[in-house]
Amino acid sequence: MTRAEEPETKMLWLLVLTLPCLGGSVPVTSDPGPGTELVGIMGGHDAADGAWPWQVGLWFFDPTRSKWSLECGGSLIHPQWVLTAAHCIPGRNPVTQHLKVQLGGLRPSYSDSVQVARIIRHPKFRLEKKAEGGADVALLKLEAPVGPSNLVRWIRLPPASLSFPPGTRCWVTGWGDVAPGEPLPPPYNLQEVEVPIVADEICRQQYLRIDKVIQDDELCAGSRERDSCQSDSGGPLVCKWRGTWVQVGVVSWGESCGLADFPGVYARVTSFLPWIRGHIHSSP
């Protein structure tokens, strides 16, 4: 497993991945060196084996450096389909060969990853607007169906009419930063944190103060020091409903991480149900 990257590559990735989320302040001063590459969740703690069996890790290949690195999260929503954030997928014409999906592990492990057969970004996602433009969802079709096992299982999608009242406690998981610009330290155990759903109107007003628009297909969750952060993107926000977990959001963006006035912004899963189901059911 290679977690190290050359400094320029890292800068590039950070630019690609964090600019949409950070209001311009890129937390890159120096390369922290091998073994500390971008892989938290803020205010969370170690997840237990099998606690979040739908969590996947997305590994991307950088052809100029011939290196793979874990850059985003995702969720298994079907034996052969992963839901992630569209802004995680780089470039106009992404190639499936440069992406692999890690299933069922608590630690980053390239060798446990599988091939992707198709990458489908939401047609309304705008590359140039990045995450903040909304429609920040993508589907990845795996080459072969997987699971279920103790460690690998899919997450249920919510019924279209389901919405959770502000204050509902949900959970978000990932290998992203533990604070802005601070990567998850070794041994890189998957992190989990409980976050409250924030009222749409409150979130909208808060972000409007910094001239950012919360789209209708986005929802907010988090509180002071409880949030997802850089490199958690694409990962699932899940809530318990009638005794089962359902995926309510996809980590998308936020102003810094863990700020009291700026909760994390998530793609709202219920907004994309017809699109998701259309692909899963019509795919050969």
Provide the binding-site residues for ligand ARG, judged by CB under 6 A.
17, 20-21, 131, 176, 227-233, 251, 253-254, 257, 264
Output 176 or 183, the one with its CB closest to ligand ARG.
176
Catalytic residue at 87? yes
CB of 159 to ligand ARG, least distance (A): 25
CB of 145 to ligand ARG, least distance (A): 28
Contact call for residues 190 and 52 (beta carbons, < 8 A):
yes
Residue 140: name the closest of 86, 206, 217, 64 by CA.
Answer: 86
At a CB cut-off of 8 Å and minimum separation 6, what does 24 contact? none
Dmax over Cα atoms in the chain, in whole Å?
Answer: 48
Output 215 or 233, the one with its CB closest to ligand ARG.
233
Catalytically annotated residue among 87, 227, 252, 256: 87
Catalytically annotated residue among 75, 233, 256, 271: 233
CB of 39 to ligand ARG, least distance (A): 11
Residue the block writes with tokens 């059911």: 281
Catalytically annotated residue among 62, 112, 136, 227: 136
Catalytic residue at 149? no
Output 112 or 255, the one with its CB closest to ligand ARG.
255
Output 22 or 106, the one with its CB closest to ligand ARG.
22
Residue 107 is classified by DSSP as S
Output 112 or 136, the one with its CB closest to ligand ARG.
136
CB of 259 to ligand ARG, least distance (A): 8
Three-state SS for 171?
Answer: strand
CA–CA gap between residue 111 and residue 44 (Å, rounded)? 26
Sign of CA dihedral 165, 51, 188, 101: negative
Catalytic residue at 136? yes
Residue 9: name the closest of 60, 48, 58, 54 by CA.
Answer: 60
Residue nearest to ligand ARG (CB): 254
Q: Any idea what the Cα angle at residue 150 is, between residues 42 and 71, rounded to 5°?
A: 35
CB of 229 to ligand ARG, least distance (A): 5
CA–CA gap between residue 172 and residue 249 (Å, rounded)? 9
Catalytic residue numbers read 87, 136, 233
